[in-house]
Amino acid sequence: MKATLLVEILSEELPPKSLRDFDVNFCSWLFEELAKLKLVARTVVPRHYATPRRLAAVIPEVLDRVAGEEKEIAGPSVKVGLDANGKPTQAIIGFAKKAGIAVEALERRGTPKGEVFVARVVTGEITLDTVLAELVEKALKRLPIPKLMRWGDGDAQFVRPVHRLVMLHGERVVPGIVLGLDSGNRTRGHRFMGRDEIVLRSAGDYEAWLGAKDCMVLAGFDAREARIREQLNAKAAELGASLGSAEDIAVLLGEVAALVEHPSVYAGTFDADFLGVPQECLILTMRKNQKYFPLFGADGRLLPRFLIVSNMALDDPRHVIDGNQRVVRPRLEDARFFFDQDRKTRLEARVPKLAAVVYHAKLGSQLERVERVQLLAGSLARLLGADALLAERAAWLAKADLITGMVGEFPELQGTMGRHYALHDGENAEVADAIEQHYRPRFAGDALPEGPVAIAVAIADKLDTLAGLFGIGQQPTGDRDPYGLRRAALGVIRILVERRLPLTLGKILGAAFAGFNARIGDASADLETFVFERFSGYLREQKYSTLEVDAVLGMRPARLDLVPLQLEAVRAFLALPEAASLAAANKRIRNILNKSAPPAGTAFLPGMLVEAAESSLYDAFGRVEAQAAAHLEAGRYVEALSSLAALKAPVDAFFDSVMVNAEDAELRTNRLLLLQQLDRAMNRVADISRLAT
């Protein structure tokens, strides 16, 4: 019999930051186990539910039993299964035992690789009643729970104490014990607005039952989040305000959806005097500590209003609003206190105190790091034509806010508060902006630093991190990257490429390692390889093909900012009808030179060209090389690569009629030198040989 299956676990409040993962994983893993046993078809679409106090899975068309079936299991070959006397070996005895049949009952089958033993076995009937509880336990154990807990006198363990278990197949309770609880058909409604005892008559009506007036539970996580978003937007519009960007509130929306079962949105206010504190501080304390949604005016400035997502739907919500307004005030007072106290000490006076802050046991203090970044930022600023003194000043002050009260309370504000305090101290605006922006980009898709001073400090900060940790052998391994080095490398790449900076990668990496004065190992080669690996992934995300990326990065270009232009040239070259032939010819040239490189120091002699095809190739090469060089000098990479098309006919003719490895040693060397020149000219933009398919 097929019917809808419902499994619900009722517990104490589940961790809000984990609830979304629990929601999807519990249902999908339970469904997968049932599908493996053929109790449900994989084409069925299960539905998952999660609220602060429950996890549930609703799976349609689940069978109550699966009949036994006969299947054939291949075993060892006859040669392995029988000894020289035709007696069963331990291999075949073990196979028969595992299959649950006698050795004499095994059959033989011919295969392309020889005769093998096979066992015919009949699997037993599987019933939902005998396996469901075990599968539910298995699915719960697979949830990403950082720390388990016990409750009561039993041995059951879960992330929170569990109070009820519902297992319904259609209208029938599936017997079983999970986490020490017997299954049943009784659940609970909303903690305050719903009934404490609800009898579920049918698994298929689960969502409707919970959403009824006597339950008041919106069970679907996504549905609850959507309703919260809808109510927030409606209330903000009613007040003539906005919530800020969708990206800024996305995480908070998920957290709030994990805290309520029946969301209702109310508006609160706070004293406008608090707006004298930088709005970043107020926004963060409301969002992070109180889970409120601050409101903004049309100019993007914070308003003295916020929205509350409550778990109660009330006709008169005054008590809820008043209570939240009373709670938020001391939080905002704390922010104002930190801001006022921090401004009593200038940033530059805090810098020496960084000597007491350990950056890394093997890399010294934060002050030592600041000194290195300051020198490197100045060097980079000079290369970029920026004001080196401003870059050095910004680098000197960039980490000073780490020891302020505000950043101590809200580490997310490092850099942001440094900018506010720098402006208060009368520092140059470019210096203040660089203090804030030197952390950029903090994550994928984040904004880049703006202006040459901020760019110089941002690159210097990331390069010092990369060089230092690579120099002490702390490279990322597998999925582990505790110091965020992949993010730092990608940040450097994005700044160099998207800001089109004419900096040589090897030179700036060398400068970063030099700042440590040989206190660490020189891992610049390893770091360069690491950067190119990250660069390859970045370019593929920009929709360049692996073939195109490998052709350009295989040349290890010195300037990353030119790579997009080179990739466009490769793409245009591949569209030429001559491309495949030239790529194949270049690959052939590479293979010849790898096997028979000309002696070092030998000069090419045009007078030794004895065959018409090699003379024609040399003449064509001379014309093309001059054209390509002019295009490259002007940065016209597409034209430089496209000019190679003129070499197709002479190259083909050369390989058709000229023996490169001639018996005459001087003639052979001269032809190899011609190919060597050709190879260099053809691969100045990209490694054309890698385009051969």
pLDDT confidence of residue 550: 94
pLDDT confidence of residue 247: 86
Q: What is the mean pLDDT of residues 324-347?
A: 96
pLDDT confidence of residue 607: 87
The pLDDT tens digits for 1-53 are 899 999 999 999 999 999 999 999 999 999 999 999 999 999 999 999 999 99
Residues 93 and 103: beta-carbon distance below 8 Å: yes
Q: What is the mean pLDDT of residues 492-502?
A: 97
Q: How confident is the model at residue 99 (pLDDT cuts 50, 70, 90)?
A: confident
Taking 90 as the threshold, does the pLDDT of residue 84 lie above it? no
Alpha-carbon 551 to chain mean position:
26
Share of the chain above pLDDT 90, in %: 71
Q: How confident is the model at residue 112 (pLDDT cuts 50, 70, 90)?
A: confident
- Each domain of the chain, given as residue ranges in start order, spans 2-66+127-211, 70-122, 221-342, 348-543, 577-691
| 529: region left, alpha or beta (phi > 0 left; psi from -120 to 50 alpha) | alpha
- Tokens coding 123: 């699997």
Long-range contacts of 537-542 (CB under 8 A, 24+ apart): 538/490, 538/493, 538/494, 538/497, 539/563, 539/564, 539/567
Beta bridge partners of 109: 116
- Does a cis peptide bond (omega within 30 degrees of 0) precede residue 16? no
Residues 530 and 475: beta-carbon distance below 8 Å: yes
Q: What is the mean pLDDT of residues 399-414?
A: 95
Taking 80 as the threshold, does the pLDDT of residue 144 lie above it? yes
Q: How confident is the model at residue 663 (pLDDT cuts 50, 70, 90)?
A: confident
What is the Rg, in whole angstroms, of the alpha carbon atoms belonging to the chain? 35
- Angstrom distances, CA of residue 32 to CA of 43, 140, 174, 318, 431: 11, 13, 19, 48, 56
pLDDT confidence of residue 370: 97
Angle between helix 524-541 and 546-553 (nearest 10): 150
How many H helices and E strands in the chain?
A: 26, 21
Largest CA distance in the chain: 103
> E-strand spans in 160-312?
162-169, 172-173, 177-178, 181-182, 186-187, 198-199, 264-269, 293-296, 302-310
Taking 80 as the threshold, does the pLDDT of residue 651 lie above it? yes
Taking 80 as the threshold, does the pLDDT of residue 124 lie above it? no
pLDDT confidence of residue 114: 86
pLDDT confidence of residue 368: 96
Taking 80 as the threshold, does the pLDDT of residue 70 lie above it? no
pLDDT confidence of residue 140: 94
Task: Indicate the residue type of 609.
Answer: L
Taking 90 as the threshold, does the pLDDT of residue 590 lie above it? no
Taking 90 as the threshold, does the pLDDT of residue 110 lie above it? no
Q: What is the mean pLDDT of residues 78-94?
A: 88
CATH of the structural domain 577-691, one choice from 1.20.120, 2.60.120, 1.10.730, 1.10.3050: 1.10.730
| Residue 29 CB neighbours (<10 A) | 19
The pLDDT tens digits for 426-454 are 999 999 999 999 999 998 889 999 999 99
Taking 80 as the threshold, does the pLDDT of residue 679 lie above it? yes
Taking 90 as the threshold, does the pLDDT of residue 66 lie above it? no
pLDDT confidence of residue 1: 87
Q: How confident is the model at residue 121 (pLDDT cuts 50, 70, 90)?
A: confident
Residues 357 and 366: beta-carbon distance below 8 Å: yes
Domain 348-543, classified CATH 1.10.3210, yes or no: yes
- What does the alpha-carbon distance between residue 615 and residue 324 come to, in Å, rounded to a whole number? 88
Residues 405 and 281: beta-carbon distance below 8 Å: no
Taking 80 as the threshold, does the pLDDT of residue 69 lie above it? no
pLDDT confidence of residue 213: 83
- What does the alpha-carbon distance between residue 501 and residue 385 come to, in Å, rounded to a whole number? 11
Taking 80 as the threshold, does the pLDDT of residue 693 lie above it? no
Domain covering 2-66+127-211, topology = Alpha-Beta Plaits (3.30.70)
- Tokens coding 58: 């609703």
Average pLDDT, the chain: 93
Share of the chain above pLDDT 70, in %: 100
Taking 80 as the threshold, does the pLDDT of residue 643 lie above it? yes
- What does the alpha-carbon distance between residue 261 and residue 267 come to, in Å, rounded to a whole number? 19
pLDDT confidence of residue 597: 86
pLDDT confidence of residue 172: 95
pLDDT confidence of residue 601: 83
Q: With helix as H, strand as E and coil as C, how does 123-150 read? A: CCCEEHHHHHHHHHHHHHHCCCCCCCEE
Taking 90 as the threshold, does the pLDDT of residue 684 lie above it? no
pTM, full prediction: 0.79
Long-range contacts of 624-631 (CB under 8 A, 24+ apart): 624/681, 625/681, 628/681, 628/684
The highest-confidence range among 64-68, 116-120, 275-279, 584-588, by mean pLDDT, is 275-279
